[in-house]
Amino acid sequence: MNTLSYGLLAMLTGGPRTGYELMQQIQPLWRAKHSQIYPLLAKLEQSGSVRFVPVAQKEKPDKKIYSITEQGLAELREWIPRTTSEPVKRDELLLKAYCVALTDPFTAKSLIQNRITLYQSKLEKYSQMLAELKNKLDGELSLTSPGFGNYILLQRAVSNSQAELEWCGWVSGLLPPSPSNQ
Protein backbone atom coordinates (compact mmCIF):
# COMPACT_ATOMS: atom_id res chain seq x y z
CA MET A 1 0.00 0.00 0.00
CA ASN A 2 1.17 3.53 -0.69
CA THR A 3 1.00 6.51 1.66
CA LEU A 4 -2.20 7.85 0.09
CA SER A 5 -3.89 4.50 0.79
CA TYR A 6 -2.96 4.81 4.46
CA GLY A 7 -4.13 8.41 4.39
CA LEU A 8 -7.56 7.36 3.11
CA LEU A 9 -7.77 4.72 5.84
CA ALA A 10 -6.78 7.36 8.39
CA MET A 11 -9.56 9.69 7.22
CA LEU A 12 -12.06 6.85 7.57
CA THR A 13 -11.22 6.45 11.26
CA GLY A 14 -13.30 9.62 11.71
CA GLY A 15 -16.37 7.87 10.33
CA PRO A 16 -17.90 6.80 7.02
CA ARG A 17 -17.30 9.09 4.04
CA THR A 18 -17.92 9.25 0.31
CA GLY A 19 -14.97 9.34 -2.06
CA TYR A 20 -15.59 13.06 -2.62
CA GLU A 21 -15.65 13.73 1.13
CA LEU A 22 -12.40 11.81 1.53
CA MET A 23 -10.79 13.88 -1.21
CA GLN A 24 -11.90 17.12 0.47
CA GLN A 25 -10.76 15.99 3.91
CA ILE A 26 -7.33 14.77 2.87
CA GLN A 27 -6.42 17.84 0.75
CA PRO A 28 -4.94 19.95 3.58
CA LEU A 29 -2.67 17.03 4.48
CA TRP A 30 -1.89 15.38 1.17
CA ARG A 31 -2.43 16.55 -2.41
CA ALA A 32 -4.48 13.98 -4.30
CA LYS A 33 -6.82 14.00 -7.28
CA HIS A 34 -10.04 12.12 -7.97
CA SER A 35 -8.11 10.02 -10.48
CA GLN A 36 -5.88 8.77 -7.65
CA ILE A 37 -8.44 8.37 -4.89
CA TYR A 38 -11.16 6.33 -6.57
CA PRO A 39 -8.88 3.57 -7.93
CA LEU A 40 -7.23 3.31 -4.50
CA LEU A 41 -10.62 3.02 -2.80
CA ALA A 42 -11.49 0.19 -5.21
CA LYS A 43 -8.21 -1.59 -4.33
CA LEU A 44 -8.78 -1.04 -0.61
CA GLU A 45 -12.28 -2.50 -0.96
CA GLN A 46 -10.98 -5.51 -2.92
CA SER A 47 -8.29 -6.15 -0.30
CA GLY A 48 -10.82 -5.95 2.55
CA SER A 49 -9.43 -2.77 4.15
CA VAL A 50 -12.64 -0.82 3.50
CA ARG A 51 -16.23 -1.62 2.68
CA PHE A 52 -18.87 0.54 1.09
CA VAL A 53 -22.62 0.95 1.10
CA PRO A 54 -24.14 2.12 -2.19
CA VAL A 55 -26.62 5.00 -1.93
CA ALA A 56 -29.00 5.61 -4.84
CA GLN A 57 -29.26 9.16 -6.15
CA LYS A 58 -31.82 10.63 -8.55
CA GLU A 59 -30.39 11.45 -11.97
CA LYS A 60 -26.84 10.70 -10.76
CA PRO A 61 -24.80 7.54 -10.42
CA ASP A 62 -25.08 5.80 -7.06
CA LYS A 63 -22.61 7.12 -4.52
CA LYS A 64 -20.58 4.87 -2.26
CA ILE A 65 -20.16 5.54 1.42
CA TYR A 66 -16.92 3.96 2.60
CA SER A 67 -16.01 2.78 6.07
CA ILE A 68 -12.87 1.21 7.45
CA THR A 69 -12.85 -2.48 8.41
CA GLU A 70 -11.05 -4.20 11.27
CA GLN A 71 -8.43 -5.27 8.73
CA GLY A 72 -7.99 -1.63 7.68
CA LEU A 73 -7.59 -0.57 11.31
CA ALA A 74 -4.97 -3.30 11.83
CA GLU A 75 -3.08 -2.08 8.75
CA LEU A 76 -3.11 1.49 10.10
CA ARG A 77 -1.87 0.33 13.52
CA GLU A 78 0.98 -1.51 11.80
CA TRP A 79 1.81 1.53 9.58
CA ILE A 80 1.77 4.27 12.26
CA PRO A 81 5.03 3.28 14.06
CA ARG A 82 7.03 3.09 10.81
CA THR A 83 9.59 5.82 10.22
CA THR A 84 8.17 8.58 8.03
CA SER A 85 9.79 9.95 4.90
CA GLU A 86 11.23 13.44 4.84
CA PRO A 87 8.42 15.85 3.88
CA VAL A 88 8.34 17.14 0.33
CA LYS A 89 8.17 20.93 0.06
CA ARG A 90 7.03 22.39 -3.24
CA ASP A 91 6.48 26.13 -3.02
CA GLU A 92 6.63 28.26 -6.14
CA LEU A 93 7.20 31.41 -4.08
CA LEU A 94 10.47 29.97 -2.76
CA LEU A 95 11.74 29.47 -6.31
CA LYS A 96 10.78 33.05 -7.16
CA ALA A 97 12.36 34.34 -3.94
CA TYR A 98 15.63 32.71 -4.91
CA CYS A 99 15.88 34.90 -8.02
CA VAL A 100 13.91 37.91 -6.76
CA ALA A 101 16.88 40.18 -7.55
CA LEU A 102 15.85 39.91 -11.21
CA THR A 103 12.68 41.90 -10.61
CA ASP A 104 11.70 45.37 -9.43
CA PRO A 105 10.71 46.36 -5.86
CA PHE A 106 7.01 46.65 -6.75
CA THR A 107 6.85 43.10 -8.11
CA ALA A 108 8.88 41.72 -5.20
CA LYS A 109 6.62 43.39 -2.63
CA SER A 110 3.55 42.25 -4.55
CA LEU A 111 4.70 38.62 -4.38
CA ILE A 112 5.16 38.88 -0.63
CA GLN A 113 1.90 40.79 -0.11
CA ASN A 114 -0.03 38.11 -2.00
CA ARG A 115 1.47 35.48 0.31
CA ILE A 116 0.59 37.60 3.36
CA THR A 117 -3.02 37.86 2.17
CA LEU A 118 -3.17 34.09 1.62
CA TYR A 119 -1.79 33.22 5.05
CA GLN A 120 -3.88 35.81 6.88
CA SER A 121 -6.93 34.10 5.41
CA LYS A 122 -5.59 30.65 6.34
CA LEU A 123 -4.74 31.79 9.86
CA GLU A 124 -8.24 33.17 10.35
CA LYS A 125 -9.83 29.95 9.04
CA TYR A 126 -7.61 27.61 11.07
CA SER A 127 -7.98 29.70 14.24
CA GLN A 128 -11.76 29.58 13.90
CA MET A 129 -11.72 25.83 13.29
CA LEU A 130 -9.43 25.35 16.30
CA ALA A 131 -11.70 27.42 18.55
CA GLU A 132 -14.74 25.42 17.41
CA LEU A 133 -12.93 22.15 18.05
CA LYS A 134 -11.82 23.28 21.52
CA ASN A 135 -15.44 24.09 22.38
CA LYS A 136 -16.56 20.72 21.03
CA LEU A 137 -13.89 18.86 23.02
CA ASP A 138 -14.93 20.78 26.16
CA GLY A 139 -11.56 20.30 27.88
CA GLU A 140 -11.44 16.57 27.08
CA LEU A 141 -8.10 16.41 25.32
CA SER A 142 -5.90 13.35 25.51
CA LEU A 143 -4.25 10.96 23.10
CA THR A 144 -7.38 8.80 23.11
CA SER A 145 -9.82 11.69 22.54
CA PRO A 146 -11.61 11.35 19.18
CA GLY A 147 -10.59 14.87 18.15
CA PHE A 148 -6.96 14.73 19.34
CA GLY A 149 -5.41 14.20 15.90
CA ASN A 150 -7.51 16.95 14.38
CA TYR A 151 -6.60 19.27 17.26
CA ILE A 152 -2.85 18.83 16.92
CA LEU A 153 -3.04 19.22 13.12
CA LEU A 154 -5.08 22.41 13.40
CA GLN A 155 -2.63 23.76 15.96
CA ARG A 156 0.19 22.97 13.53
CA ALA A 157 -1.67 24.77 10.72
CA VAL A 158 -2.07 27.83 12.95
CA SER A 159 1.63 27.76 13.91
CA ASN A 160 2.75 27.30 10.28
CA SER A 161 0.53 30.18 9.15
CA GLN A 162 1.94 32.43 11.87
CA ALA A 163 5.50 31.46 10.91
CA GLU A 164 4.80 32.13 7.23
CA LEU A 165 3.38 35.58 8.09
CA GLU A 166 6.39 36.34 10.28
CA TRP A 167 8.78 35.35 7.47
CA CYS A 168 6.85 37.45 4.92
CA GLY A 169 6.99 40.45 7.25
CA TRP A 170 10.74 39.99 7.65
CA VAL A 171 11.28 39.72 3.88
CA SER A 172 9.06 42.72 3.25
CA GLY A 173 11.20 44.75 5.65
CA LEU A 174 14.33 43.84 3.67
CA LEU A 175 12.91 44.95 0.34
CA PRO A 176 13.46 48.50 -0.87
CA PRO A 177 10.38 50.69 -1.07
CA SER A 178 8.56 50.40 -4.37
CA PRO A 179 8.24 53.57 -6.46
CA SER A 180 4.58 53.97 -5.45
CA ASN A 181 5.62 54.08 -1.74
CA GLN A 182 8.22 56.82 -2.16
pLDDT digits (tens, 9 = 90+) for 93-114: 999 999 999 999 999 999 999 9
Can you tell me the distance from the alpha carbon of 22 to that of 50, in angstroms, rounded to the nearest whole number?
Answer: 13
| pTM (two decimals) | 0.79
Count CB atoms within 10 A of the CB of residue 147: 15
Q: Is the pLDDT of residue 142 over 70?
A: yes
Can you tell me the distance from the alpha carbon of 162 to that of 154, in angstroms, rounded to the nearest whole number?
Answer: 12
Query: pLDDT tens digits, residue range 15-41?
Result: 999 999 999 989 888 888 889 999 999
